Chain A
């Protein structure tokens, strides 16, 4: 069986600047995989390219074995990907409930939509309390809940989370990672993109370390976090090892 998500030799450029240089990675069904690296390493560009928001200049993206490299973003979403973008990007002029309904846009069965809504309100009771409030009136933590809830509304097979810890207080970061752990234990496949590598690798089973648009390390979370190059990258020593 092919991995649910497979990225082969992906390349992304903005004008003449090459920001992703031949990245390959895969996420099997049921896995939680972390994509970590410093700011500017190319993490978000990879995710945007997987989602079809930034065109790949080379390489392929396969979802469940099907090549979606040229497909528009909504087709990728319909293939079973839930996406929490960097910076949350909730719809500030829509209320909480309609923000969540946007996440279920492709679900035709209204009973399923109501069930998903109840499930999200069960996970985040605060969102139920705020259901008629506009997104712009929510606190940072509530917006984070809303962004994750929206990504879960379509009952995705793979959840891609881009920088869940960004802009959150430490206590909220811990809560967010607890939630990700819970979702993964319940069987959800997760691709976690994080600057906070330590936290991400505590949750993930496997990881990829990015540097300057390349994968410089990959392996199990425990191997990665104990690797001297990983420690070097995060504590100032220059990485010397190629991709494993």
Chain B
């Protein structure tokens, strides 16, 4: 039971991480809480279904989701967030992001219909039984994909020029510009990568539950806020650790306590406790937590 819940918790945490990373990377550089990032999660799922229906290839489905969501992220940043963003007034972009998310949900409903689509993808992994622990093919796919993406993100942030640009800009945009960093390009990278990560999470969840529907981004849209605040806003490592913490909490509470405590509320309960004892977030080093 314990090991099973551990696997379940890490799987849920991995999915949360992918969405939370996008949100925290955008916040780190623009100080905008981008609710519409959850729209990329749904967009990814729809584009994934569309790509899979046409090719029966999960990599192609992932690619369709990544490209489409990254493009939307870039356009939102250039056309909406950059024009409305003011350092002294974070409410305007926050309201804009809520509006964008609502518009996206309604567009999904109008274009794809209000019903649930199935996503019966062939998975690269088979169900694995280790002693009493069962790891499904979709769980293995989620864990493997998340591991690859975490490694990729670490490499990008620590071994590439654009990653250095992101870290510098997240700390001090003005000085970064004066040092020759094209902060517009860094911003586009953060939005593109953030939306792409969310899209991948959306596809993986859609495959895991074999379901895609217009409102599937509702719970991630607010739960991710709790997670990124827990992890320390703008801190990618903090976002991953907080996601894992919430994923494990949900799995263990769901497994041992049952449905008497709603698992979707756990992130907020944890948030309230953390805000009382450590308002700067659990993990504030290594990022631009502000």
Task: Report Cα–Cα, A15/B10, bound state, in Å.
Answer: 52
Q: Is B97 an interface residue (CB 8 A)?
A: no
| Beta-carbon contact of B164 and A101 below 8 Å | yes
Q: Is B264 an interface residue (CB 8 A)?
A: no
- Checking A83, A92, A93, A94 against B178 with a beta-carbon cut-off of 8 angstroms, the contacting residue is A83
| Beta-carbon contact of A154 and B167 below 8 Å | no
User: Would A93 and B167 be within 8 Å (CB), given that A53-B174, A85-B175, A105-B161 are in contact?
Assistant: yes
Q: Is A51 an interface residue (CB 8 A)?
A: yes
Q: Write the B175-196 contact mask toward A (1 if CB under 8 angstroms, else 0).
A: 1111111111000000000000
| Beta-carbon contact of B167 and A94 below 8 Å | yes
Q: Min CB distance, B278 to chain A, in Å?
A: 18
- Checking B164, B172, B178 against A73 with a beta-carbon cut-off of 8 angstroms, the contacting residue is B178
- Checking A73, A93, A150 against B177 with a beta-carbon cut-off of 8 angstroms, the contacting residue is A73
Task: Report Cα–Cα, A93/B283, bound state, in Å.
Answer: 14
Interface range on chain B (Cβ under 8 Å from partner): 20 to 34
Q: Is A91 an interface residue (CB 8 A)?
A: yes
Task: Report Cα–Cα, A52/B183, bound state, in Å.
Answer: 13
| Beta-carbon contact of A91 and B171 below 8 Å | yes
Task: Report Cα–Cα, A91/B286, bound state, in Å.
Answer: 11
Q: Is B165 an interface residue (CB 8 A)?
A: yes
CB contact list, A88-106 vs B, under 8 A? 89, 91-94, 98, 101-103, 105-106
Task: Report Cα–Cα, A154/B179, bound state, in Å.
Answer: 9
User: Would A93 and B171 be within 8 Å (CB), given that A101-B164, A105-B161, A105-B165 are in contact?
Assistant: yes
| Beta-carbon contact of A91 and B181 below 8 Å | no
| Beta-carbon contact of B181 and A74 below 8 Å | yes
| Beta-carbon contact of B287 and A102 below 8 Å | no
| Beta-carbon contact of A102 and B179 below 8 Å | yes
- Checking A74, A85, A154 against B182 with a beta-carbon cut-off of 8 angstroms, the contacting residue is A74
Residue from B175, B179, B288 having most chain A Cβ neighbours under 10 A: B179
Which residues from chain B contact A52 at a C-beta distance below 8 Å? 177-178
Q: Is A78 an interface residue (CB 8 A)?
A: yes
Which residues from chain B contact A101 at a C-beta distance below 8 Å? 164
Q: Is B244 an interface residue (CB 8 A)?
A: no
By the criterion of a CB under 8 Å from any partner CB, how many residues of chain A are at the interface? 23
| Beta-carbon contact of B164 and A105 below 8 Å | yes
| Beta-carbon contact of B164 and A92 below 8 Å | no
| Beta-carbon contact of A93 and B175 below 8 Å | no
Q: Is A72 an interface residue (CB 8 A)?
A: yes
Task: Report Cα–Cα, A105/B285, bound state, in Å.
Answer: 24
| Beta-carbon contact of B180 and A94 below 8 Å | no
Q: Is B168 an interface residue (CB 8 A)?
A: yes
| Beta-carbon contact of A94 and B179 below 8 Å | no
Q: Is A35 an interface residue (CB 8 A)?
A: no
Q: Is A41 an interface residue (CB 8 A)?
A: no
Which residues from chain B contact A51 at a C-beta distance below 8 Å? 178
| Beta-carbon contact of B286 and A93 below 8 Å | yes
Which residues from chain A contact B285 at a C-beta distance below 8 Å? 93
| Beta-carbon contact of A102 and B176 below 8 Å | yes
Q: Write the B247-290 contact mask toward A (1 if CB under 8 angstroms, else 0).
A: 00000000000000000000000000000000000000111100
Q: Is A77 an interface residue (CB 8 A)?
A: yes
Which residues from chain B contact A94 at a C-beta distance below 8 Å? 164, 167-168, 171
| Beta-carbon contact of A89 and B167 below 8 Å | no
| Beta-carbon contact of A53 and B179 below 8 Å | no
What are 22 A-B pairs with beta-carbon distances under 8 A?
A52-B177, A72-B182, A73-B174, A73-B178, A74-B177, A74-B181, A74-B183, A77-B178, A77-B180, A83-B179, A89-B172, A91-B171, A91-B175, A92-B171, A94-B168, A98-B167, A102-B176, A102-B179, A103-B179, A105-B164, A105-B180, A150-B179
Q: Given A91-B171, A93-B167, A94-B168, list of 18 further CB < 8 A pairs?
A: A52-B178, A53-B174, A73-B178, A78-B180, A89-B172, A89-B175, A91-B172, A91-B175, A92-B171, A93-B171, A94-B164, A94-B167, A98-B164, A102-B164, A105-B181, A106-B180, A150-B179, A154-B180
